[in-house]
Amino acid sequence: MKITIIGTGYVGLVTGACLAELGNQVFCLDVDQTKIDILNNGGIPIHEPGLAELVARNRAAKRLIFSTDIAASVAHGDIQFIAVGTPPDEDGSADLQYVVAAARNIGRHMTGFKVVVDKSTVPVGTADKVSAAINTALQERDVQASFSVVSNPEFLKEGAAVEDFMRPDRIVIGCDGTPAGLQAQAQMKKLYAPFNRHHERTLWMDVRSAEFTKYAANAMLATRISFMNEMANLADRVGADIEAVRQGIGSDPRIGYSFLYAGCGYGGSCFPKDVQALERTAREYDQDLLILRAVEAVNNNQKYVLGKKIVARFGADLTGKSFALWGLAFKPNTDDMREASARVLLGELIGRGASVAVYDPVAMPEAKRVLALDFAGKPEQLARIRFCDSALEALEGADALAIVTEWKTFRSPDFEQLKQLLKSPVIFDGRNLYEPQVMSDAGFEYHGIGRSVLTRA
């Protein structure tokens, strides 16, 4: 099949590469010439395991092309995926200007039937806006052409996106019941047929329900994380071990273990903005989502918990103190720094006069770019951040180690070497990578999240 992907960001590039891997002819469009040049020269603008190999293989097979030619992109694809960014607006709502612009361009160039697929994460009612933009452009051209707008939200985890796409647990597709909608449904069924050979993974529903499903899924996962973080903070006060509690409640099949890990807050491009966007949608309909408001508040506060533990141990004035920070990306297997907890902790430590040596296995180039923006106008503070080439280099002479991202490479370090490099054997573990008793036996002062078990007589 001939497919066009509008937008070569995280979702668009993964979708395009994976659909090309299945034998489709995929045209990836982006208005950013620099990004297209990188892709055409064999580079990848994001870090995602397995993606570079997938793109290279399908470019070589001529099943995957990258271009800024809008007219050619519309002419190519019978199915047009809109996978552009929907960043949060100032009021928390999703900014749909790029989605609408993509729809308008389709309307300006299409001459026959098109299936237009909203792949971007968009609020309920976006399909109507996309339809209106296409119809307006067609009317301006005085062209009669049929189309149908479909909702097909993505459920990709950063760091495992290729695997998630190629082996989906579900495929959500929203179509309407018009003749054009039924034609679109047939096209989408054909496109996703390779995923449904052994058992049906597609969930068919109306367009608005499909749009809602994506937000509801991310809101539920964010809620579980914030719930567990709130329980962890209480566990610290009452002397309980949140890891034991997690196992105790996760063993209940009605609850399960997923997304019940306490830590220093969630980040990334999805959960923060999707929770805000769903809250904004609710306000438009005069409804207040009290639970989600609390979820967001808990997460924002959780990003300061590690800093508070460090201040409680070393004092409010950290002038002259040096810290090592392991992990900058918001999660492992990505270089994504959006809403990353490390940015909050760095701001806290640097703002209190400390120096920080930082290391991340993948995100160092992106971190340098983002932190330069975070500390814009404060060159003396930015100068107190040292970017290291290894985790061990960051430890040299540090008063303590803070762990913010749970990279596998941090899970089993040489603890004797850590003690030799650190000025004092103190670890603040924002992801609970280590066992408190093991760390104590090894001679470390250990501060986890919800793992400060009180000694009882």
Phi-psi region of 100 (alpha: psi -120 to 50; beta: other; left: phi over 0): alpha
AA letter at 447:
H
Sheet holding 64-67, edge to edge: 64-67, 25-29, 2-6, 79-82, 114-118, 147-151, 171-174, 202-205
Phi-psi region of 266 (alpha: psi -120 to 50; beta: other; left: phi over 0): beta
- Distance, CA of 91 to CA of 284 (rounded, Å): 12
Select from 288, 302, 284, 394 the least CA-distant residue to 348.
302
Within 10 A of 71 (CB to CB), how many other CB atoms are there? 10
Question: Treating both helix axes as pointing N-terminal to C-terminal, what angle do 126-141 and 207-238 enclose, rounded to 10 degrees?
Answer: 140
Q: In what helix (H) or strand (E) does residue 446 lie, and over which residues does it extend?
A: strand 445-447
Q: Are strands 385-387 and 400-403 parallel, antiparallel or unpaired?
A: unpaired
Q: In what helix (H) or strand (E) does residue 223 lie, and over which residues does it extend?
A: helix 207-238
Q: Which of 18, 28, 175, 270 is catalytic?
A: 270
Q: Is there a catalytic annotation at residue 18?
A: no
3-state secondary structure 4-54: EEECCCHHHHHHHHHHHHCCCEEEEECCCHHHHHHHHCCCCCCCCCCHHHH
- Distance, CA of 220 to CA of 179 (rounded, Å): 35
Active site residues: 270
